Structure 1
Amino acid sequence: MAELMKIARPYAEAVFALAKEEQSLAAWSDQLANLSAIAADQAMQVLMDDPSRSQAEILSVFEAVMGDKLTTQGKNLLAAMAENKRLQALTEVSGQYEALKAEEEKRVRATVVSAFDVTDEQKNKLSAALNAKFDAEVEITYEVDASLVGGIKIMVGDWALDGSAQSQLNKLGAAIAQ
């Protein structure tokens, strides 16, 4: 996975720079999401892994599926990635592009996992606190995991806060075991 991240980074950065210059961040987001979905398809994976298939054949499948939604720049991206045998990294390119786009738009995604359903009042307080902490508009996804016993876990990119009772009990158990 780390290798795919390295491979994808220059493509994502180049597409992002182009999209920003052309003021077409949303259009590229849609196009990359579609290309990523095609590349992630099991049948397409088999086709891309088949050494008897030419890059032109593989590109023609992408173009046929995308139809008129594939721009000239999108075709150029596919051609460059195919030439370098990097089509397997399309999903990662899309993910990195979205991260760059979110950073540009001062948007951050967070996941909040709690032992119980979070009330609207709690959601408002969490949203305000996270918006202030990250100085950005934080999009929060809420999940319920009863195994936490109580408390919450908050994950934002590389940053995480584990305030769950399960975590506290695990720490206590480790301290007792020493």
Structure 2
Amino acid sequence: MINTITLGRPYAKAAFEFASTAGQADAWLAMLSFSAAAVQTPEVAQQLGNPALTSEQKVKMLAQMCSGYVDDTFISFLSTLSSNDRLSLLPVVLKQFTVLKAEAESTLDVEVQTAFELTAEQLQTLAAALSKRLARTVQPKPVVNAALIGGLLIRAGDLVIDSSVRGKLNKLAEALKS
């Protein structure tokens, strides 16, 4: 069985190429977000899975739900998805579109977990250091996690930097077990 990420990748790439060429990447991100949220609701998912509806009827239903939030070119994109029975992939396409947009803009969302809330100055200093190390503009998302005890845990895509007290205690425990 083919992975949904594999199925959604060409649609996300095509959507991003079209949107970035047209200078509408932000608008397309918003339209994808809205339509992806719509197809995840149980009622809409049930209608999209209804074999009695044609692909045009499914697109028309989704376009009516998203009326005012999508434009004609996006509806054409939905038609392409629907004709290939891929409307349920919109959340996957959204996720991959977001990654492509971040790569193109050289930005990276970074989750910063700390035991205590960071000040704006500390967060800005950390973002500057991470931006320098990762050669990208870093957008930190602070999360307070008291279980860390102290220090911080940074998740930037596949990179994880654990300088928390909890992480160091876990490493020490592993070393003592060996």
Give 1:72 deviation, angstroms: 2.2
Bigger drift between 100-109 and 137-146 goes to 100-109
Corresponding residue for residue 34 of structure 1 = 34
Residues 142 and 75 (structure 1), Cα distance of their counterparts in 2 relative to 1, 3 Å cut: same
Q: Please name the residue that 1:124 is paired with.
A: 124
Matched AA of 1:154? I
Equivalent position of 1:113 in the other structure = 113
Q: Secondary structure at the match of 1:69?
A: coil
Partner of residue 59, structure 1? 59
- Structure-2-length-normalised TM-score: 0.92
- 1:53 is displaced (CA, Å) by 3.2
SS state at 1:81 partner: helix
Who is 1:163 aligned against? 163
- Tell me the distance in 1 between the aligned counterparts of 2:47 and 2:141: 35
Instruction: Give the 3-state SS of the residue equivalent to 1:80 in structure 2.
Output: helix
Residue 79 of structure 1 aligns to a residue in which SS?
A: helix
Q: How does 1:1-178 map to 2 (within 5 A)?
A: 3-178=3-178
| TM-score between the two structures when normalised by the length of structure 1 | 0.92
Cα offset, 1:167, TM superposition? 1.4
Residues 29-55 of structure 1: CA distance to partner in whole angstroms, max 9, x if unpaired?
111111111111121122223333332
Q: Which has the higher helix share?
A: 1
| Distance in 2, Cα, partners of 1:65 & 1:46 | 14
Q: Secondary structure at the match of 2:66?
A: helix
Identity over aligned pairs, percent:
28
2: CA distance between counterparts of 1:168 and 1:145?
A: 15
CA distance change for structure 1 residues 72 and 126 in 2, over 3 Å: closer, same or farther?
A: same
Mapped to 1, the partners of 2:166 and 2:14 lie a distance apart of 43
* Gap regions ≥5 residues in structure 2: none
Aligned residue identity for 2:108: V
Query: What stretches of structure 1 of length at least 5 have no aligned partner?
Result: none
- Partner of 1:108: helix, strand, or coil? strand
Single out whichever of 152-161 and 112-121 deviates more from structure 2. 112-121
